[in-house]
């Protein structure tokens, strides 16, 4: 797997968040929708398949 360029984001649902230009973006859930829709696609679904698989392996093992 090659290195991927990512954009870290903190989402605060229900909060009003002032726009800022920090390396880690902070936003509310409403702004997140526009942020994701406006982002350009960097990778094909085939390139992301191994990442999705790893996340499934690591994150879906939690039991509540």
Q: Can you say how many angstroms the Cα of residue 10 is from the centroid of all Cα atoms in its chain? A: 9
For the stretch 12-59, pLDDT in tens is 988 888 877 888 999 998 889 998 899 888 889 998 999 899 888 888
What are residue 26's DSSP bridge partners?
Answer: 10
Comparing 28 with 63, the larger pLDDT belongs to: 28
- Per-residue pLDDT band for 3 (boundaries 50, 70, 90) equals confident
What's the pLDDT score for residue 24? 92
* pTM score of the predicted model: 0.60
Written as six digits, the tokens of 38 are: 């406006």
DSSP-derived secondary structure for 3-57: ------EEE-TT--------SSEEE-HHHHHHHHHHSPP-S-HHHHHHHHHHHHH
Q: Where are the domains positioned within the chain?
A: 9-59
């Amino acid at each position: 797997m090659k290195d991927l360029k990512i954009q870290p984001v903190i989402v605060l649902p229900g909060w009003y968040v002032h726009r800022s230009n920090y390396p880690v973006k902070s936003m509310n859930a409403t702004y997140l929708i526009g942020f994701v829709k406006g982002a350009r696609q960097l990778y094909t679904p085939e390139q992301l398949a191994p990442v999705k698989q790893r996340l499934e392996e690591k994150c879906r093992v939690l039991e509540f």
